[in-house]
Structures are given as structure tokens and as C-alpha cells.
């Protein structure tokens, strides 16, 4: 069985280092001339999948925008996840789950068990209850070739208060998360399956990412103000592991599929220019 790290490495080699988010904000639905209801949601999500599913390495549906519509929204999420996987994109579901270990085990079965209706290639997870509490997700991911991206240094300004606080050993909370994920990925080839979320907006924080040996998802590009050039400052020598992530910057170009593809190609070219340095 190929690991998630291996599959991601291959997808990025074939399609380029880019993750595009599906975030059907009410404002975007209106901008696309769609109604703010399940029909609008369905049309929006399917347009993105049809435009980008066969060319972008990773697609990241933001679960919140589907959950907003209850069971019918989640049914659409389930359906587009299947469609995306059939079109060859890796699906990273942005759900930021975290809880005590016994509940995390249920989240793991919900997303990382191939028999689950919402089965995806990888999920985002919150380490706020301790990185160790996420162990059931790491274990199920490892069993089935899945991945987990753990929040480390998020793109929002409020994150710093918690993530950059210092623990008794002098390390920041974020560095503790980084170090624990690095251990999980030790020795993995060509890339570990356990990633971190590190915002492109955060500047040079002095955190050491050099031993992560796993993917570094970088949201915050475009709509939140970061540019591809900022990746250099944030990631330094870890640039080769960065997976840049854009949602609104690309989605604003819709609903014309050709315009969505052109926007994705433009941001990919911007990022390639930096990541190839
Ligand atoms: O630190 C984080 C973690 C996750 N996100 C999510 O990424 C997208 C960003 O959307 P944009 O439109 O590109 O700003 C969104 O789903 C967030 O929930 C993040 O922004 N920062």
C-alpha cells in the first residue's frame, strides 16, 4: 500500500505544488449568481470539481460551508469527495477535528476508514487536546495510506497567543507540535504522511521546521494577504515541502470553468517560481 506521503509526492510531481480549497462562502455564491441554498452549494462545488479535479494535486473542501446546510449539505460534500477522487485529485478535508482519544477514534473512522461515506485522503486536525490525543487518527491513517495535517502556526492573527506561548521546557506550543509530528515522520521516504498547517501570513517566527519530513500546508495566500514571495520568509530551507493553498483567490475567478483553471494556473506559476528557488 502506498503511503499518503508517497501519493502526495507523486501528485505534486505530476500536477504541481498546489492545493485549491472549495469554500462556498455566501458572498461567493452571490458573486457566481447562485442562490444561498443547497442548489447553489451543489452547483458551486460541482463547477469547481469539474474545472479543477483533473489538474490540481490536492483539493481541500472546507467542511463548514457544507455543514451549514445540514444533512443535504453533507450529502453534497460526500458526493463531491467521490467525484474528486475519481478525477485523480487527492482530497484533504478541512474539518480541524480534535478531542479526547476515544472520540478522536470515531473521527478517524468517519474520515480515514475506506469504508466510511466521507472517506478522504487526508484531514486537518487540531492538537489543542494534546498531539497524543490524535494518535487514533495517526494510526488509522497509517493503516490505510491516509494523511493528517495538524495545526501548528495558523494563518489568523489570533493564533499566535496560544501557539507561540512558551511551555516549561522553553519551547513554544507550536514547536512542541512540530517536534511531535517530526518524530512520526522520521525515516519516511519520499515524504512522511503527517503534515503541519503553517500559515503563509506569519512571517519569520524562528520556528524550526527542518526535521518535519512531511508536507507543510500553507493557507493564507491571496484573500488573507500573503503572496507566494512570503513563502520564502516563512519557510526558508523547508520550501521544498510546502503545499501552497488558495481558496477565495481562485474561486473569485468563477463560475467560468476556463477562468477557474486560468486562476489556478496563475497561482501555481507564482508558487513554482518561489518553490523552485
Ligand atoms: O491556519 C489556517 C488553517 C486553515 N485555513 C483554512 O484555509 C482556507 C483559506 O481560505 P482563503 O479563502 O484562501 O483565505 C479556509 O478554508 C480556512 O478555514 C486557514 O485559512 N488558515
**Contact residues of ligand 1, CB 6 A cut-off:** 21, 23, 62, 94, 154-155, 197, 199, 219-220, 222-224, 246-249
Cα 191 from Cα 57, distance rounded (Å) = 15
Kindly report the protein residue whose alpha carbon is nearest to atom 3 of ligand 1.
Answer: 154
Pocket mutation for ligand 1, best pick of 63, 96, 155, 201 (most atoms within 8 Å of C-beta): 155
Q: How many domains does the chain have?
A: 1
Coil, strand or helix at 79: helix
Question: Domain with 128 in it: what CATH number?
Answer: 3.20.20.70
How would you classify the pairing of strands 194-198 and 147-153? parallel
Cα 48 from Cα 28, distance rounded (Å) = 12
The interface pTM score, or ipTM, of the predicted complex is 0.99
Active site members? 96
Range of the domain at 193: 4-275
Contact, 53 vs 59, CB < 8 A? Answer: yes
Contact, 190 vs 241, CB < 8 A? Answer: no
Instruction: Tell me whether residue 259 is exposed, middle or buried, using C-beta atoms within 10 angstroms of its C-beta: 0 to 12, 13 to 18, 19 or more.
Output: middle
Coil, strand or helix at 106: helix
Q: Give me the tens of pLDDT residue by residue for the chain, a chain 277 residues long.
A: 999 999 999 999 999 999 999 999 999 999 999 999 999 999 999 999 999 999 999 999 999 999 999 999 999 999 999 999 999 999 999 999 999 999 999 999 999 999 999 999 999 999 999 999 999 999 999 999 999 999 999 999 999 999 999 999 999 999 999 999 999 999 999 999 999 999 999 999 999 999 999 999 999 999 999 999 999 999 999 999 999 999 999 999 999 999 999 999 999 999 999 998 6
Q: How many residues does the chain have?
A: 277
Amino acid at each position: 500500500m502506498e503511503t499518503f506521503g508517497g501519493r502526495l509526492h507523486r501528485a505534486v510531481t505530476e500536477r504541481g505544488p498546489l492545493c485549491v480549497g472549495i469554500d462556498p462562502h455566501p458572498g461567493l455564491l452571490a458573486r457566481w449568481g447562485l442562490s444561498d441554498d443547497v442548489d447553489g452549494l451543489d452547483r458551486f462545488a460541482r463547477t469547481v470539481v469539474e474545472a479543477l479535479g483533473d489538474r490540481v494535486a490536492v483539493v481541500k473542501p472546507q467542511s463548514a460551508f457544507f455543514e451549514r446546510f445540514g444533512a443535504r449539505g453533507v450529502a453534497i460534500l460526500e458526493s463531491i469527495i467521490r467525484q474528486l477522487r475519481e478525477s485523480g485529485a487527492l482530497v484533504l478535508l478541512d474539518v480541524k477535528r480534535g478531542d479526547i482519544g476515544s472520540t478522536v477514534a470515531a473521527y478517524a473512522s468517519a474520515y480515514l476508514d475506506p469504508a466510511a461515506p466521507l472517506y478522504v485522503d487526508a484531514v486537518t486536525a487540531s492538537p489543542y487536546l494534546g498531539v497524543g490525543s490524535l494518535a487514533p487518527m495517526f494510526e488509522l491513517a497509517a493503516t490505510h495510506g491516509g494523511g493528517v495535517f495538524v495545526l501548528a502556526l495558523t494563518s489568523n492573527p489570533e493564533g499566535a497567543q496560544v501557539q507561540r506561548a512558551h511551555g516549561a521546557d522553553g519551547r513554544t506550543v507550536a514547536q512542541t507540535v512540530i517536534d511531535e509530528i517530526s518524530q512520526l515522520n522520521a525515516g519516511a521516504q519520499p515524504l512522511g504522511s503527517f503534515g503541519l498547517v503553517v500559515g503563509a501570513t506569519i512571517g519569520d517566527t524562528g520556528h524550526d521546521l527542518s526535521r518535519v519530513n512531511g508536507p507543510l500546508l500553507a493557507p493564507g495566500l491571496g484573500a488573507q494577504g500573503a503572496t507566494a514571495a512570503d513563502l520564502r520568509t516563512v519557510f526558508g530551507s523547508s520550501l521544498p515541502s510546502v503545499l501552497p493553498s488558495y481558496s477565495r483567490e481562485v474561486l473569485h475567478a468563477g463560475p467560468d470553468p476556463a477562468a477557474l483553471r486560468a486562476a489556478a494556473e496563475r497561482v501555481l506559476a507564482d508558487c513554482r517560481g518561489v518553490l523552485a528557488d
